[in-house]
Amino acid sequence: MSTESSPVTKADLAALEAGLIHRIEKTETGLIERIEKTETGLLERIEKTETTLLREFRKWAVSFESRFRANEILVGGFSERMISLEEWVGSLERRE
């Protein structure tokens, strides 16, 4: 390359351009690698979160279904008793 007092040549500019291009490509490659690493990490965290949410939702669903069935049995018992009471009241009304 030329010194401060001599004019810049096309070869000097070409060398500078080549150096800049090399640095840009190196930086670009590093950025792409960091982005890909970050993307992979995010995808892994998302997958872990989804798995955790699905596992917890399943626990809740099993518990809810159990309570729902217990209530269904209880309501069914009340319905049978209500029918019996309605029949008994109906038979009392027919006697009068």
Q: Tell me: the pLDDT tens digits for 22-73?
A: 999 999 999 999 999 999 999 999 999 999 999 999 999 999 999 999 898 8
Phi–psi pair at 6, nearest 5 degrees: -95, 155
pLDDT at 78: 87
| Prediction pTM value | 0.50
If you count them, how many residues does the chain have?
A: 96
Phi–psi pair at 49, nearest 5 degrees: -65, -45
For the beta carbon of residue 69, count every other beta carbon within 10 angstroms. Answer: 10
Instruction: Identify the CA nearest to 12 among candidates 22, 21, 3, 25.
Output: 3
